[in-house]
Chain A
Amino acid sequence: AQTVTQSQPEMSVQEAETVTLSCTYDTSENNYYLFWYKQPPSRQMILVIRQEAYKQQNATENRFSVNFQKAAKSFSLKISDSQLGDTAMYFCAFMKPGANSKLTFGKGITLSVRP
């Protein structure tokens, strides 16, 4: 079974600064996908970024980028130029490809962006 660990319950960052959210996972699989989801106070979960384990290149999406360390089973999210709208809970998630592509989530981290 896969596990996802987010050990930081809360973080705070000043607007326009950079913040890094940590995530580690445990799996015996070699082929899998990793995701960061954002859940604003309205509670609708939105995909931020995804990474295929077989790709060495770190994924980037505008201000969001990841640091994927497969050997260390680490998958951190960096948010550059933080904006007030980035305030939300962030979940790291694991998925094993196949017929049932269910997501295994970490406990999440609450990020607050200060004006």
Chain B
Amino acid sequence: GAGVSQSPRYKVAKRGQDVALRCDPISGHVSLFWYQQALGQGPEFLTYFQNEAQLDKSGLPSDRFFAERPEGSVSTLKIQRTQQEDSAVYLCASSTKKYAGVTDTQYFGPGTRLTVL
């Protein structure tokens, strides 16, 4: 596709359920980022992939959060045993370059709004 796509767009989960959120980056983009955006707040970094390698997972809030990108394209963010505080919009972004530069724009997907009841 032309842009970053994410699915599902909306997800409602009961507390304690596991969820999986999918991100399809722009074809050929090397770098992939996940961000968490709480209501009324700015996005916060969760994790970063360069191709299939997860180079930074310092933003993952707990060991219930897990992300993968096994073939260096599609990525999945998994949240186990969801809690109410996990309710947020999860944004995925991709960019072309391995190293940041002035032309290295991050292109964002529409996000997945997760509501945990």
Contact = CB atoms under 8 A, between A and B. Distances in A.
Interface residues of A, number: 27
Contacts of B43: 45, 91, 103, 105
B51 to A, nearest CB: 12
Contacts of A96: 100
B55 A100 contact: yes
A99 interface: yes
Nearest to A106: B42
Main secondary structure of the interface of A (DSSP, over half): loop
Contact of A107 (B41, B100, B102, B108): B41
A44 B110 contact: yes
A96 to B, nearest CB: 8
Nearest to A4: B42
Interface string B76-91: 0000000000000101
Contacts of B25: none
Contacts of B109: 44
29 contacts: A4-B42, A6-B42, A42-B110, A43-B89, A43-B110, A44-B108, A44-B109, A45-B43, A45-B93, A50-B102, A91-B43, A93-B42, A98-B100, A99-B55, A100-B48, A101-B95, A102-B33, A102-B45, A102-B48, A103-B33, A103-B93, A104-B45, A105-B42, A105-B43, A107-B40, A107-B41, A107-B42, A108-B40, A108-B42
